[in-house]
């Protein structure tokens, strides 16, 4: 009975995680489950602290919140561990190479000593047998030196290949750290870094900078009707449209469950609104078919908000203004674009 009780105790965090997702209406996908399991197992103190704070303030905990927590505390820690492991492998490989080089250097010094000694012996040798013995010794030492040099050459080639493989692994980790795994566009962290860089650049150059926020309309209904796998396909579709339409120097990022951002350097608000409208129309006019059953998913629509950077404001203020414009679109019929400056009530 005690063993059975221990089994039930080990299941409790998993059961609590599922119950929490049901309570808050969060789809039971891997990342959401990972967040709640980490919370109930208390395996990540900072994640638990943030989630406790949301719960205590009776705030709405949705998939956007789970996505942010996963990215901040679980995904980054996993990537950090990969970087540490790859870095440790590189360090170990370099250490082994240095040891091999030191070994060959020691053998080279010994070979030099043998050569010097042979020279002295040859100068004093009188009998052919003595000369033959010295030459034989030198021949063996020379062969050993050649073998050592060849072995080091092979080892260096192996090390070069291994370090190149590790370099590619680190490059992949770097890409993973900057990319949203589902859609392939930038993730929230990359969005924040890029936004910081571009606002500083816009302030110095006095060139325009605009941001577009987009949110898939009635996305929960899509998930509830067609399932989460189809919902993921819709997210990827919208991400793909935004990436295809963005200017060359722009960035598209997934910053929440079904929310995206497009940062457009050198673009003023009017042009950004026109771009947003192009994205909205492309999404709305596309007929989507469910892959598994070939059923028509009906119209997929997005609401968008646009704002242009003001050099006197903080980065967060720009995002907040675009967010207000986005929710004006959602609260006034959806499937539309709102430019912050066009709605006087938003500035209040």
Catalytic residues: 258
Q: Which of helix, strand or coil describes residue 326?
A: helix
206 backbone φψ class: left, alpha, beta (φ>0; ψ -120 to 50): left
Torsion sign, CA atoms 86, 92, 94, 100: negative
Cα(224)–Cα(231) distance, integer angstroms:
9
Q: Which of helix, strand or coil describes residue 186?
A: strand
Q: Which of helix, strand or coil describes residue 333?
A: coil
Cα(158)–Cα(59) distance, integer angstroms:
56
Please give the backbone phi and psi of residue 52, each rounded to the nearest 5 degrees, phi first.
-60, -40
Q: In 3D, which of 15, 30, 162 has the Cα closest to residue 94?
A: 162
Cα(141)–Cα(329) distance, integer angstroms:
84
DSSP per-residue letters across 24-89: HT----HHHHHHHHHHHHT--HHHHHHHHHHHHTT----HHHHHHHIIIIIIHHHHHHHHHHHHHH
Which residues lie across from 261 on neighbouring strands?
213, 253
Residue 140 CB neighbours (<10 A): 11
End-to-end CA distance of the chain: 65
Q: In 3D, which of 277, 335, 345, 344 has the Cα closest to residue 306?
A: 277
Alpha-carbon dihedral 22, 26, 32, 38, rounded to 10 degrees:
-40
13 backbone φψ class: left, alpha, beta (φ>0; ψ -120 to 50): alpha
- Name the one residue in this structure whose structure tokens are 């190149």: 164
């Amino acid at each position: 009975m005690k063993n059975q009780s221990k089994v039930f105790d080990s299941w409790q965090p998993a059961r609590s995680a599922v119950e929490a997702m049901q309570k808050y209406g969060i789809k039971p996908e891997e990342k959401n489950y990972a967040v709640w399991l980490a919370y109930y197992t208390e395996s990540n103190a900072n994640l638990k602290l943030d989630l406790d704070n949301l719960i205590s303030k009776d705030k709405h905990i949705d998939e956007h919140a789970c996505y942010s927590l996963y990215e901040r505390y679980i995904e980054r820690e996993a990537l950090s561990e990969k970087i540490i492991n790859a870095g440790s492998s590189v360090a170990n490989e370099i250490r082994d190479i240095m040891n091999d080089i030191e070994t060959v250097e020691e053998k080279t010094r010994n070979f030099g000593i043998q050569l010097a000694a042979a020279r002295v012996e040859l100068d004093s040798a009188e009998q052919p047998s003595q000369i033959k013995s010295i030459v034989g010794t030198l021949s063996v030492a020379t062969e050993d030196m050649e073998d050592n040099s060849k072995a080091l050459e092979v080892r260096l080639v192996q090390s070069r290949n291994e370090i190149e493989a590790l370099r590619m692994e680190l490059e992949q980790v770097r890409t993973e750290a900057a990319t949203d795994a589902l859609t392939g566009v930038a993730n929230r962290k990359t969005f924040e870094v890029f936004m910081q860089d571009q606002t500083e650049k816009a302030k110095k150059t006095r060139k325009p900078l605009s941001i577009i926020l987009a949110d898939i309309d009635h996305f929960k209904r899509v998930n509830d009707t067609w399932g989460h796998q189809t919902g993921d396909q819709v997210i990827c579709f919208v991400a793909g449209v935004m990436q295809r339409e963005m200017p060359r120097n722009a960035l598209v990022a997934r910053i929440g469950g079904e929310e995206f951002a497009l940062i457009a350097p050198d673009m003023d608000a009017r042009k950004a609104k026109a771009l947003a409208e192009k994205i909205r129309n492309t999404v709305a006019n596309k007929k989507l078919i469910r892959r598994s059953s070939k059923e028509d998913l009906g119209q997929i629509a997005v609401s968008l908000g646009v704002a242009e950077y003001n050099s006197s404001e903080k980065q967060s203020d720009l995002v907040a203004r675009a967010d207000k414009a986005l929710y004006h679109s959602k609260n006034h019929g959806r499937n539309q674009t709102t430019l912050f400056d066009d709605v006087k009530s938003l500035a209040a």
